[in-house]
Amino acid sequence: MTDVLLAAGALPTWSWNPVADLREMWAFPFMVNAFRAGTLVAVGAGAMGWFMVLRRQSFAGHTVATVGFPGAACAALLGVSVSYGYFAFCVAAALVIAAMPRGGRAAGGHESAVTGTVQAFLLACGFLFTTLYHGLLGGVTSLLFGSFLGITSGQVWLLLAVTAAVLAVLAAVGRPLLFASVDPDVAAGRGVPVRALSAVFLVLLGAATAEASQITGTLLVFALLVMPAAAAQALSARPAVSLALAVLIAAAVTWAGLTVAYYSPYPVGFYVTTFAFAAYVLSRGGRYVRERIARPALEPLPAGGAA
């Protein structure tokens, strides 16, 4: 962002005329592509993140997200498109985590030790790839913290295809997945294939994080997954409403982040995480105030928000 605009002259200035500002910003094809890609990514990440928060799989989601970094570095080393690296590594990591034996609920320590080791080892591999591929070293920070520059129309089409596929599969397994997430024991008792659903969910999560990583960077994609979903679940107890809210918040946060990043020298990832965090804090605060006012009212869905 800054590099291009500094080369062209100075940073663009905000004229307090939103229509003219938007028109000026969208006169640049790269900004139009950034908004298209950002919207697609936000929709996919918002929906997948909602289920991730509901299923309490934040750590797995974070690991799948960070694994995108060695994927991208490996792809750069091999000389193929970075997108393939993201998808290959994120989906593979999702499969590894899904294949691991699951203990009871209290055995979280072991499972997360494996997840953490996988994450740290793959990040170390990514570091090795970048040291082997010397030219990339300047690009490490943009791989990790995101950049919305130079998104081509081809990438936008790829993102559109992946988002459509993820949402289609999610719509197909949505009802049983919701059941299995809220109460796995009862769902298993009623004949729902809990384990297979969990694997499908992780693969979808891998695909969604792989596409989001390309905009927000591998370290900050987690913010787009967890925060809009947590905010939405604090706002509404009804699954359909809060799922829609999560997607809306993710999209709004991405748009606001892109717009502000266009007018300032700081990275887009910083603005997206800051706006998302503000939404999370506001909704948690709002829920707290509402509960204080109407204490004897109906209790919210136990899985929603964070008790």
Partner 1 sequence: MTAHAMSHTLAAGSGSGWLAAFTHPYFLHAFLAGSAIALAAGLTGFFLVLRAQVFTGDALSHVAFTGALAALAGGYDLRLGLFAATVAVALLIGAIGRGGRADDVAIGSVFAWILGLGAFFLTLYTTSRSAGNGGAGVSVLFGSLFGLSAGQALTAALVAGSICAVLLLIARPLLFASVDEAVAAARGVPVRLLGLVFLVLVGACAAEATQAVGSLLLLGLLAAPAGAAARLTDRPFRGLALSAVLALAEMWAGLGLSYAVPTLPPSFGIMAAAASVYGLTFLKGAGRGRDHEKGRNGTSRPARAFSRLWQTATMPALGDTDHE
Please give the residue ranges that form the binding site for partner 1 (CB under 8 A). Answer: 2, 53, 56, 58-59, 62, 66, 101, 103-110, 112-121, 123-125, 127-128, 131-132, 137-138, 140-141, 144-146, 217, 219-220, 222-223, 226-227, 230, 265-267, 269-274, 276-277, 280, 306-307
- Output the smallest distance, CB 190 to partner 1, in A: 21
* Nearest distance in Å: CB 69, partner 1: 9
Task: State how far Cα 136 lies from the chain centre.
Answer: 24
Q: Cβ of residue 3: shortest distance to partner 1, in angstroms? A: 11
The Cβ-side half-sphere exposure at 197, using a 13 Å CA radius, reads 23
In one-letter notation, the amino acid at residue 209 is T
Contact 151, 37 (CB under 8 A): yes
CB closer to partner 1 out of 156 and 276: 276
* DSSP symbols for 171-240: HHHHHHHHHHHH-HHHHHHTT--HHHHHHHHHHHHHHHHHHHHHHH-TTTHHHHHHHHHHHHHHH-SSHH
Return the number of the residue (158 or 215) whose C-beta is nearest partner 1: 215
CB of 204: closest distance to partner 1 in angstroms? 19
* Residue of 83, 300, 109, 85 whose CA lies nearest to 211: 83
The smaller minimum CB distance to partner 1, of residues 105 and 295, is found at 105
Of the pair 128, 173, the CB lying nearest partner 1 is at 128
Residue 190's contacts (CB-CB under 8 Å, 6 or more residues apart) are 179
Q: Closest CB to partner 1 among 108 and 286? A: 108
- Name, in order, each residue with C-beta under 8 angstroms of 16's C-beta and a sequence gap of 6 or more: none
Q: Shortest gap between Cβ of 17 and partner 1 (angstroms)?
A: 28
